[in-house]
Amino acid sequence: MYTKLIFIALLVTASVFAWVSFGSSNAEFSHTTAESISISIRPWQQADDLLISVTDACLNPPGKRLSGIHLANTGTRAITIDSLRFSWTPNDSSEHIRLVQFMIAEGVQWTGSEPSGTTLQLRDGLVIDPGESDSGFMLFDSDMSRKEMIITAFMSDRSLKTVSFILPEGSPGCGGEQ
């Protein structure tokens, strides 16, 4: 009986220590019974620090130039986006993305002609330093108004971040005709 009380006291102490030590990190703590503790720690991933904001997303008339997509590194280490996937619905096989450009890299990261759902390898990867943010634009060969867009960023550490939103109609104040 005395041994069991010591074990329970140690278990409670370990539970409190685990909760205090790992509560604000990427750890998950669960206490299922008085006799067992489960602690799992997920290592940091670059996608944890990538913020993809689409609140300013807009299409120019006739809906072929998408701008207002913002990327930000909210962490303390540089992150690298190796590739991006743009998927949209509804889609037909004749609609293609033509260009991806973000200002951080001072140039076009990708150019070509690919349909919805194709993963685009970025030129040299897109490195975003801590605290840095950027906006970019994409060109399409068809009107993308009112389509659902899913953007997935594939990071150099193999983690990923996905954002989904409905594209607005083309707006005259949205940027140059391309």
Structure tokens at 14: 């370990």
Q: Which domain holds residue 30?
A: 2-41
pLDDT at 33: 53
pLDDT at 26: 52
By three-state DSSP, how is residue 147 classified? coil
127 shares its domain with 74 = yes
74 shares its domain with 161 = yes
Q: What is the CATH number of the domain that holds 72?
A: 2.60.40.10
27 shares its domain with 56 = no
87 shares its domain with 167 = yes
pLDDT at 34: 56
What percent of the chain stands above pLDDT 70? 77
How far is the CA of 37 from the CAs of 18, 20, 42, 113, 162, in angstroms?
A: 9, 14, 17, 52, 32
C-alpha–C-alpha distance, residues 52 and 18, integer Å? 32
pLDDT digits 0-9 by tens, 1-51: 544 444 444 444 444 334 333 333 455 545 555 567 777 787 899 999 999
- Number of other CB atoms surrounding residue 138 within 10 Å: 24
23 shares its domain with 50 = no
Q: Is the pLDDT of residue 77 over 80?
A: yes
79 shares its domain with 159 = yes
35 shares its domain with 77 = no
Q: How many domains does the chain have?
A: 2
The answer as to whether 110 is a domain residue is yes
The answer as to whether 143 is a domain residue is yes
C-alpha–C-alpha distance, residues 30 and 56, integer Å? 39
Q: Indicate the helix (H) or strand (E) that contains 60.
A: none
The answer as to whether 50 is a domain residue is yes
- Mean pLDDT computed over every residue of the chain: 81
